[in-house]
Structure 1
């Protein structure tokens, strides 16, 4: 089961907002982009509050930071607090998978209802009703289309709420609902000790970290549990139990070490060959009569508590533990949704960029991520199609620069729709940089780039050099917003003294723009402006898709759209983006491979000489 959309109404500063996650191309990572006070955190709180109210079980009890909304009256929009007779409502649309349908069918059959058709799209929502700004009640609605009949009857009809099979089916549905886990930050005070048994006066932090230890045990895939294989062995005086316990603790430490210092994640820049995470043998706190373990960083001959390490280390350590091991939890739905509010925004830009890669690794499992940011370092160009611009319309200013004094009104807009409002922008990235009010510093160096006509050329060349050819030395690509839109960025790169070249199609429009650029920039553009026919004289009138063998065009398209019979440029470009996002390798014809090798080699050599 997966969420496809959320609709939020009358939630703090949100009047009405729809967050559509059914992206095209399909993605597991969704970025909320906006400045401070734009409303990103409010959206995160709403999604977390939704799950807390729908599940209403122990999941939120094991969260260090649930939505934080205790008083429901805080949901009332500030401009309506005087007399709010209305409802706060959050609705989720979900799409069921085959296994979800099977579980519902089994529950219905066990309760006397033979289902013939279960719609794969359902909605679940709740509303908090208020009258005169006083909370009245919370109501949950499940909108499902289940068609069938009673075992003993012939008449077929939709399952109704009053039927005895309704509540059991609803309970099955709720248990399958993907957990939504909210982390406003990862700068936690990681405890020096984790108690293995609960006590009457402990805070929720100890229960959370104890559950984390069980998640680590689950990741070992050996049916280990904290009670039997750690606590009971720690209490035993048998030598064989001590030996077995030491083996478990060593494996836990080794597993955490491999994750935290993984070359693939590469979140730490220091030499980590002599570093490891150790899980100590359980000791007894005599006063509390409770056993505990410690997680420490062993660096050479010295050991350190996690709290004694740098801010960056503590941030990434907790991020990796709280996410990667949570995926391993043996019970419950594996299709998790993580909410990260401004992740790593207080860390160095290199750490932020490494986090982008860590998020990509996280979503290789059955996990989705929604994260907010106002940092351009946390924007991955490959994820822009699933990015949303968040704006608070109540903070707009009139033409005199004065506050418009409008009520807070948080809105989201897909980046694809947002850039259509900026037809004269010279690169595909520019609108998002404008939203973030980004300006390069005087010390910031611009990378050497190959400028291409638009995003589709960008995604296609990126796909080949990263996924198909796996080039170790990759060229930086800068997409324009059309073949004739590169004038400003050419001027900028020339003024900055950075190397650049331009690649255009060999069609009529490409040749027209090539002549215009040559006339406009004269000597500046000499030996920097190319079309496909300059790469290979047998490529006249070529655009990017002509580099493909015709068999490959449909093969790539069918990965994302398996039912299509004919090539569609729009669907093909969507499939390329999806394959790039998911790093999906496709075996291609030798002609296609050779063509793109020739293009990328030419661009690399030409950029070096520019």
Structure 2
């Protein structure tokens, strides 16, 4: 089962219900400190924590319900049954096939299932539905039932009704007992529909993903008192989190602490610990470019009434060792994370929650951690992490970002939205910074910006604007900067982020052929992030060609001449092969048999041959002149 959607409400700072779409791989929550990022991860962890005995990850209305609303809630809701978190899961095909093989075709056909966790701890299945009649037919087909009774039995409304009908007939009582033992007795008790209860208990419940949570508090302590560990003496110097991470280390190494305490020969135990640490260190150094000369070492120190395990870090280059606490927090965090992660590494049905991962890491090391998440974790697990660092955001994956913002409204609380919908400039800052490198490589941002798909658009528009200026026709205003965003799918993101800096933005775009991209643009317009009249498409000037691209602004013979002159590797295309009613790019692709050629090369050829620009037809120039008039007006 994969998590698809989460709704959280009435939990700490989340005063109103917040709906969050979850990515199949990595979902990245970005927001300022105290915005509610950690609260969201906590609520998720408490939905189904991997260690059910850990009371820190169970809901408590006194601790978790919004404080200002707690008393009215307690008075109106003594059952404490508020659905604090609702998760929508997608069932994978193997699980659906197992259910079908058990209960029959067309009995349970849902691709998704919605489950909530209440403040009282109860899991509630909100939308589980079955086709009882299809089950009856499937079940009875396994047995010999008199024809005159078959029809009546198949119409039974529930498993219990079917059982009662079978039980009253002595000849069918054994079938009734099989039904009861196989399905009714194995269903969740007190379910009004036993078949739903059976599917929920036998198939859904065991496959609900567990949530695994890690933050900076789960750090390996530099020194572990073995007596405190064995007796689980939790105090300010040995916290519950330190106990948990220490337990993970001993478990991973296969070390029996009670034997370690009583045995006077510690070498075998140290050997096991170091073998484990070496294995983790090798894995960790693959994603730790900062310093490859570090390794973990252990030593046992005997003190009165106790033994201490000291953890030290050796620098093999400088040949010195220091206590763990004297090394960088970033190194200790990363190593501790790998130790803690070892507890669940063998489990596939786990969703990983990371709160501010790599907070103490240098920018390069954060990039290493980001690479580790994307390359090592995401292929096997869903990962949800929080950050306010631009170095923990991949600018090519901004669609995976959700922003968390504290509205400061006592009735609304924290808000979660897609990055495109966020309006708070401080919340957007990490995303804008993450885009900085891409922007620096491609463009200069000005107060007025015209977004286009790629560099070819920039070249064409610049060259033809200059030609139109000479001819005294409409050209692109001098204070407008053309911004190639690197692909049509990035346009919506750039619009949102540039708007966050209060810049004027318009765009001149190819016709959307991807429905998802079209929907994202429509959402921006509906959210009033950009006005409808500032989104301009080439097909407004190229009728009857639709969909169209900038190349369709030229007469077919003009663009084919550019293509033939630039691409010697392809046979020349006869303009007679090109219909003036359809996109020239799509037709060229079909003729040359490739999905996409380099659109920049014909534009570059045009820039090197100014005489071609001077020979462009009035029809072509007038199309561009009309487009520039629209753009200038949109950015006034």
TM-score (norm 2): 0.55
Residue 184 of structure 2: SS of its match in structure 1?
coil
The alignment's C-alpha RMSD in Å is 5.4
CA contact (8 A) 2:404 2:417 kept: yes
Q: Aligned match of 1:276 in 282, 289, 295?
A: 295
List alignment gaps of at least 5 residues for structure 2.
146-152, 161-179, 189-197, 235-239, 444-448, 456-483, 502-506, 513-535, 542-558, 568-577, 609-636
In structure 2, what is the equivalent of residue 124 of structure 1?
115
Match of 1:76 among 65, 71, 80: 65
Is 2:348 the counterpart of 1:334?
yes
**Match status 1:304 vs 2:318:** no
**Which residues of 2 match residues 54-203 of structure 1 at below 5 A?**
57-58=52-53, 60=54, 66-67=56-57, 71-84=60-73, 85-86=76-77, 87-89=81-83, 90-101=85-96, 117-118=107-108, 119-128=110-119, 137-143=120-126, 144-147=128-131, 148-149=135-136, 155=154, 163-167=184-188, 170=201, 173-185=204-216, 188=219, 190-193=221-224, 195=226, 199-203=230-234
Contact (CA 8 Å) 1:29, 1:368: kept in 2 or not?
A: yes
Structure 1: runs of 5+ lacking an equivalent: 129-136, 218-224, 396-405, 420-430, 459-475, 493-501, 514-530, 552-588
Moved more, 69-78 or 406-415: 69-78
Give me the whole-angstrom Cα distance separating, in 2, the residues matched to 1:303 and 1:41.
35
Match of 2:280 among 233, 256, 263: 256
Q: Offset of 1:79 from its aligned partner?
A: 3.8
Q: What secondary structure, in the 3-state scheme, does the structure 1 residue paired with 2:117 have?
A: strand
Cα separation, partners in 2 of 1:198 and 1:237, compared to 1, 3 Å = closer
Partner of 2:248: 212
Aligned with 1:436: secondary structure? Answer: helix
Q: Give the C-alpha shift of residue 438 in structure 1.
A: 6.9
Q: Does 1:413 align with 2:417?
A: yes
In 2, Cα distance between the equivalents of 1:534 and 1:255?
59
Q: For the residues of structure 2 that align with 1:335 and 1:253, how far apart are their CA atoms?
A: 26
Separation of aligned partners in 1, 2:314 and 2:414? 47
CA contact (8 A) 1:341 1:371 kept: yes
Residue-pair matches, total: 448
Provide the TM-score with structure 1 as the length reference: 0.57
Q: 1:4 offset after TM fit, Å? A: 1.4
Structure showing the higher strand proportion among its residues = 1
1:436 equivalent in alignment to 2:428: yes
* CA offsets 1:338-358 (integer angstroms, 9 cap, x no match): 222333345544443443223
- What's the secondary structure of 1:145's corresponding residue? coil
- 1:126 partner SS: strand
The answer to whether the Cα contact below 8 Å between 1:104 and 1:173 also exists between their aligned partners in 2 is no
Q: CA deviation at 1:309?
A: 0.2
Radius of gyration: which is bigger? 2
**Distance (whole Å) between structure 2 residues aligned to residue 180 and residue 41 of structure 1:** 14
* Alignment pair present for 1:46 and 2:43: yes
Residue 255 of structure 1, CA deviation? 0.8
CA apart distance, 1:145: 3.4
Q: Distance in 2 between matches of 1:5 and 1:354?
A: 29
**Equivalent pair of 2:218/2:242 in contact (CA under 8 Å):** no
* Gap change, CA 1:105 and 1:445, over 3 Å in 2: closer
- State whether residues 17 and 410 of structure 1, in contact with CA within 8 Å, keep that contact through their aligned partners in structure 2: no
Change (3 A) 1:103 1:438: closer
The 5 A counterparts of 1:183-582 are: 183-185=214-216, 188=219, 190-193=221-224, 195=226, 199-203=230-234, 204-205=240-241, 207-213=243-249, 216=252, 225-226=254-255, 248-262=272-286, 265-266=287-288, 268-270=289-291, 272=292, 274-278=293-297, 287-288=305-306, 294-300=310-316, 301-323=319-341, 325-329=342-346, 333-345=347-359, 347-395=361-409, 406-416=410-420, 418=421, 435-437=427-429, 448-450=440-442, 537=565
- The secondary structure found in structure 1 opposite 2:305 is coil
Structure number with the higher helix fraction is: 2
1:547 to 1:316, Cα distance in 2 relative to 1, 3 A: farther
Distance in 2, matches of 1:190 and 1:334, equals 28
CA–CA separation in structure 2 for the residues paired with 1:247 and 1:17: 52
**Cα distance in 2 between the residues matched to 1:371 and 1:200:** 34
1:386 shift after superposition: 2.1
- Secondary structure (helix, strand or coil) at the match of 2:115 reads strand
Describe the shift of the 1:29–1:455 C-alpha distance in structure 2 as closer, same or farther (beyond 3 A): farther
2:518 maps to which residue?
A: none
2: CA distance, partners of 1:253 / 1:79: 48
Deviation at 1:127, TM superposition (A): 1.9
User: Which residue matches 1:5?
Assistant: 5
> Deviation string for 1:154-184 (max 9, x for gaps)?
6376678993221375276434322212234
Q: Distance in 1 between matches of 2:537 and 2:112?
A: 44
Partner of 1:584: none
Q: Per-residue CA shift, 1:223-255, capped at 9, x if unaligned?
A: xx545xx987998899xx977x77754532321
Aligned-partner SS, 1:413: strand
Shift of 1:534: 7.7
